[in-house]
Chains A and B, each alone.
Chain A
Amino acid sequence: GQQVMQIPQYQHVQEGEDFTTYCNSSTTLSNIQWYKQRPGGHPVFLIQLVKSGEVKKQKRLTFQFGEAKKNSSLHITATQTTDVGTYFCARTGNQFYFGTGTSLTVIP
């Protein structure tokens, strides 16, 4: 139905390693958004992807939207301790349906 699945649920990386989280939908998405929730905080909007195959970068973060608009990924290069948190994708329309989230732990 409306849900988007994210994998992995948890990821532990050494500082400096790369990290990727994947978001998958069984239906075509009109667009996809990504949010970050720091420990003890609230979700904060990062970016929106709209076009098929779209790639956007924010410093060390790279966001991709699949060609079929059914999946998306967030890749972080050379993680830092400030990257710790849970990353959610969200399908949008009249509501925001959030993925299950990937919790990232960065080990210094």
Chain B
Amino acid sequence: DSGVTQTPKHLITATGQRVTLRCSPRSGDLSVYWYQQSLDQGLQFLIQYYNGEERAKGNILERFSAQQFPDLHSELNLSSLELGDSALYFCASSVQPGQGSAEAFFGQGTRLTVV
């Protein structure tokens, strides 16, 4: 158990809809990262939050947004969903970024299927 909790585990929705994925980071971790993993693909970095503030953006579509709340949990909002958005979405957390020994702890992921 990594200590990172993601809900829901599975989500099936129709094109054009909007969904929210939730992540609770490991206790004490201030950084949260979101990644998208499509079938047989690598981990595409979407966005990072640190202590409530956006820290870095990767290949995140404009239809996607995220936020980190005061209790440090994070939500990833995906809107106007398309078939190509079907993927596994991972949340990861770590201690303060840049610390030499920081490692990423991943949640179990949310598998999103857009039909």
Contacts and interface: CB of A to CB of B under 8 A. Distances in A.
A95 B56 contact: yes
Interface of A: 31, 33, 35, 41-45, 48, 50, 88, 90, 92-101, 103
Interface residues of B, number: 26
Most buried by A among B98, B104, B109: B104
Contact of B97 (A31, A48, A93): A93
| Secondary structure dominating the interface of A | strand
| Secondary structure dominating the interface of B | loop
Interface string B50-66: 00000110100000000
Contacts of B115: none
Contacts of B40: 103
Contacts of B108: 41-42
Nearest to A90: B104
B25 interface: no
